[in-house]
Chains A and B, each alone.
Chain A
Amino acid sequence: MTSLSVPPRGATTQPTGRTARPVGGGRDWRMAGEILLFTAPALTIFGLFVVWPILRAVQFSLYRWKGFGPLVDFVGLQNYVAVLTNEVFRGAVGHNLFIVVASILIQLPLGLGIALLLNRRIRGRGLLRTIIFVPYVLAEVIAGVVWFQLLQPGRGVVETLLGTVGLDGPYQGFLGTPELAMPTLMVVLTWKYVGLAVLLFLAGLQGVPDELTEAAQIDGATWWQIQRRVTIPLLGPTIRTWAFLSMIGSLQLFDMVWILTGGGPANATTTMATFLVNEGTKRQNYGIAAAASVVLFVIALTMAVLYQRFVLRRDTSDADVLRGVR
């Protein structure tokens, strides 16, 4: 994230170092042994706490299982059929994708705007930075509980404030009205996460060399022209990395939804994560929950790989260059 040097053209087509390495001989064996030895502890932990649970989840997803007792009731892909034909789950996938897109569309311009403003020398900059970043530091559960209280229908602070200007809140409240629950959730999520975008963008802005803006200034460019032609393009890698984090976070969204709405009202805010927790811990359909978790995993993995392949490639090609010249 800190390295903002522009990669030389054609960097991606450079041959990797692998072919250049001497072939055969005892040295390779020794090296392989050493690598294995030194990575063993890490690999063991990774295997036990990442690979093994994933494999178990795949295994559970093939059984009808209540969460205790032996795995005996093999049902093949039936749980996957149940999940993929489940209207609530399909709704949840839609909600997740909506949150992915809406988060980026709302937080990108907002975060970028705030970061550009805060990057200028203005009064109380430190205070403003803190105010914007505090929600992100706050534990999600606590933030959720606070917002739940603020949004209480009829009695909460938000509706009381609306009342002072003569407006009435919706009868079921902002979180209890199916049509309003998702937009309300997006407002809270934006409040919570825009601080992260601002922080990352500000860090990225530190890497934009002053000489470039100065040169542009001398050429007579306005502040806005400088931002548009110089700063924002140089901020590209940071923005793309932030968008990646935002996307993965949106796909796995759980805490805030669970506390604010529990996925309701009428499933209007169910996400894949709340669906699978509900199926597992509340209904004890652990097989179906496992199948849903595998589907979520596959969707997240696919999107991550595609994003890496098509969007982040420009940024990671830097690393290829390093590897090539080692």
Chain B
Amino acid sequence: MTTIRALSLMASGSLVLTLAACGDGDGGEGGQGASDGEDVTLTWWHNSNTGDGLEYYQQVAEDFQDANPGVTIQIEAMQHEDMLTQLDAAFQAGDAPDVYMERGGGELADHVAADLTMDLTEVAAEEIEMLGGTVQGWTVDDRVYALPFSIGVVGFWYNTEMFEEAGVTETPTTWEEMYAVIDQLKAAGMEPLSVGAGDGWPAAHYWYQFSLRHCAEETLTDAVQSLDFSDQCFITAGEEVERLIDAEPFNRGFLSTPAQSGPSSASGLLATEQVAMEMQGHWEPGVMAGLTEDGEGLGDKLGWFPFPQVEGGQGDPEAQLGGGDAWGVSADAPPEAVEFVRYMLSEEVQRGFAERDMGLPTNPNATDAVADPALAGLIEVRDSAPYVQLYFDTAFGQSVGGAMNDTIELMFAGQAGPQDIVDATQAAADAEG
């Protein structure tokens, strides 16, 4: 009896101790204070987890290690969505990787407020100077917290062959022309547009784009700061979206269509030539390639044009909606992490990045290395834009952005009007306090 009692006491006691020890871990993996010549290990999380990109980033890390003896880079390459989930968990646990992808906007502002990310304003001043206005999306209170390495804009990807077949000779530059194209495509028996409204954000991008065209730049900048959406231009944007939905240009079943997962998603429908166009970001060629059996997507048939202009809009007609990815450094990372991020923005690394079509480089000296003609056209539009407005849901943060997206989705289902979008967004903003 005594033996059993002692054993069970030990068992329960050790269990408590083990668990206590687990909860007590300091979690910091990156070596700290290693700048005095000691060896240092950097953890780097990225989402180029297949093929060329994975290999290239491995090479980049090795090159950096060779040039900086004593530095070891530990790479975690994950699928994009997995990475986001893991990052959230790592931030919650106070165990963020030294170098990671930062999407900017309200999300970054939250990270900054929680002291999770490093201020790079001084330590990477040279790169920030080189990047110019593109760092705007990663700036909080005039301090820069991450360096964008790929920035793209949202526009219409289309099937050039289907356009020809329907007799469309020129891509539309105004919405009047766009409606004419939609009618032409429908007359030819085609579904003009696909939209993944099941995922919310692809539908919401229409409202963002019309807001960008109808609202003056200051109105948008103010809205991001003050979260005030009372300007009439936001209502007009909603009316434009309603008009578009009424024209019925979208694929059958668009309310339950996902954005880019599987061949029946919005991107899949474009890739498999079931629809003529889709409005999407710069990642579309890569996504489509992954959704077709030959890994080519639409190949040579793929064309791109920017979001058409509207009549009477207050916004600059050349302004673009976009966003991108930046390298952030966690608050307690060693100085080598900053050096590594600076290296990744160098012409050399960015050129290799562009040549492999991994994204759209931000280093101006590397932009001519983009191989894909459609993407090259996109980068031209990006670089001549007076400003690139960060996707609203990213700019406003997930809480406000989520409420905005959900209400726009309701509009696509015919259950919300222009005023509802403004009201729901304002309510979510007010709840932020």
Q: Which residues of A are at the interface with B, using a C-beta cutoff of 8 A? A: 34, 37-38, 40-41, 44-45, 48, 64, 66-70, 73, 82, 149, 152-155, 171-173, 175-178, 261-262, 264-267, 278, 281-285
Give complex CA distance A31, B25 in Å. 38
With A262-B198, A264-B409 as contacts: A68 and B399 at CB distance below 8 Å: no
Q: Which residues of B are at the interface with A, using a C-beta cutoff of 8 A? A: 5, 8-9, 11-12, 15-16, 19, 85, 88, 91-92, 94, 110-111, 113-116, 197-199, 252-257, 264, 397-399, 402-403, 409-410, 413, 415, 431, 433
Given pairs A172-B255, A176-B255, 10 additional interface contacts (CB within 8 A): A41-B15, A44-B19, A68-B91, A69-B113, A149-B264, A265-B198, A265-B256, A281-B88, A283-B398, A284-B398
B110 contact set on A, CB distance < 8 A = 66, 68, 284
Is B253's CB under 8 angstroms from A172's CB?
A: yes
Q: How far does the Cβ of B34 sit from chain A's closest Cβ, in whole Å?
A: 25
Is B12's CB under 8 angstroms from A41's CB?
A: yes
Q: Tell which of A82, A175, A266, A283 touches B415, judged by Cβ atoms closer than 8 Å.
A: A266
Q: How far does the Cβ of A276 sit from chain B's closest Cβ, in whole Å?
A: 13
Is B113's CB under 8 angstroms from A153's CB?
A: no
Q: Tell which of B114, B197, B254 touches A68, judged by Cβ atoms closer than 8 Å.
A: B114
Overall SS of chain A's interface: loop
With A41-B12, A69-B116, A265-B413 as contacts: A282 and B398 at CB distance below 8 Å: yes
With A69-B114, A284-B398, A285-B399 as contacts: A261 and B256 at CB distance below 8 Å: yes
A34 contact set on B, CB distance < 8 A = 5
Q: Tell which of B12, B88, B92, B113 touches A40, judged by Cβ atoms closer than 8 Å.
A: B12
Give complex CA distance A278, B402 in Å. 9
Give complex CA distance A67, B87 in Å. 11
Q: Tell which of B88, B115, B255 touches A264, judged by Cβ atoms closer than 8 Å.
A: B255
Give complex CA distance A37, B1 in Å. 12
Q: Tell which of A41, A173, A285 touches B256, judged by Cβ atoms closer than 8 Å.
A: A173
Give complex CA distance A265, B254 in Å. 10
Closest to B19 in A: A48
A69 contact set on B, CB distance < 8 A = 113-116
B114 contact set on A, CB distance < 8 A = 66, 68-70
B116 contact set on A, CB distance < 8 A = 68-69
Q: How far does the Cβ of B2 sit from chain A's closest Cβ, in whole Å?
A: 11
Is A38's CB under 8 angstroms from B8's CB?
A: yes
Give complex CA distance A64, B88 in Å. 17
Is A282's CB under 8 angstroms from B402's CB?
A: yes
A-B contact pairs, 16 of them (CB 8 A): A40-B9, A41-B11, A45-B15, A68-B92, A70-B114, A171-B253, A172-B255, A173-B252, A173-B253, A176-B253, A178-B415, A261-B256, A264-B255, A265-B197, A281-B88, A283-B403
Give complex CA distance A303, B89 in Å. 33
A68 contact set on B, CB distance < 8 A = 88, 91-92, 94, 110-111, 114, 116
Q: Tell which of A37, A66, A267 touches B9, judged by Cβ atoms closer than 8 Å.
A: A37
Give complex CA distance A155, B269 in Å. 11
B15 contact set on A, CB distance < 8 A = 41, 44-45
Closest to B433 in A: A64
Q: How far does the Cβ of B26 sit from chain A's closest Cβ, in whole Å?
A: 16
Give complex CA distance A155, B264 in Å. 9
Is A283's CB under 8 angstroms from B256's CB?
A: no
Is A264's CB under 8 angstroms from B198's CB?
A: yes
Give complex CA distance A175, B258 in Å. 12
A262 contact set on B, CB distance < 8 A = 198-199
B91 contact set on A, CB distance < 8 A = 67-68
Is B253's CB under 8 angstroms from A40's CB?
A: no
A154 contact set on B, CB distance < 8 A = 252-253
B410 contact set on A, CB distance < 8 A = 266-267
B431 contact set on A, CB distance < 8 A = 82
Closest to A171 in B: B252
Is A37's CB under 8 angstroms from B8's CB?
A: yes
Closest to A263 in B: B406
B397 contact set on A, CB distance < 8 A = 284
Q: How far does the Cβ of B420 sit from chain A's closest Cβ, in whole Å?
A: 12
With A37-B8, A40-B8, A282-B398 as contacts: A67 and B92 at CB distance below 8 Å: yes
Closest to B115 in A: A69
Is B198's CB under 8 angstroms from A41's CB?
A: no
Closest to B87 in A: A68
Give complex CA distance A175, B413 in Å. 12
B252 contact set on A, CB distance < 8 A = 153-154, 171-173
Give complex CA distance A283, B409 in Å. 15
Is A176's CB under 8 angstroms from B398's CB?
A: no
Q: Tell which of A37, A153, A171 touches B5, judged by Cβ atoms closer than 8 Å.
A: A37
Closest to A152 in B: B264
Is A175's CB under 8 angstroms from B256's CB?
A: yes
Q: How far does the Cβ of B206 sit from chain A's closest Cβ, in whole Å?
A: 17
Give complex CA distance A98, B351 in Å. 58
